[in-house]
Amino acid sequence: MSKEKPKIYPPEFRESSVKLAIESDQSIAQTAKELGINPNTLHTWISKYSKPS
């Protein structure tokens, strides 16, 4: 069994993905699919990057 290395996404991509997911009318799952990332990953990023300042 070969394990795949987890993908490392740049912070700019993460932040823009969160912004897109929050501002879009589509579901987070659909946004994640269009971005080519796992929906759970996007949920994690939203929790991390969308905290009120």
pLDDT reading at 1 higher than 60: no
Measured CA to CA, the distance from residue 17 to residue 30 in angstroms comes to 12
Measured CA to CA, the distance from residue 16 to residue 6 in angstroms comes to 20
pLDDT of the residue at 49: 84
> % helix / strand / coil in the chain, to the nearest 5?
60, 0, 40
Measured CA to CA, the distance from residue 48 to residue 15 in angstroms comes to 10
pLDDT of the residue at 40: 96
Of the pLDDT bands very low, low, confident and very high (cuts 50, 70, 90), residue 32 is very high
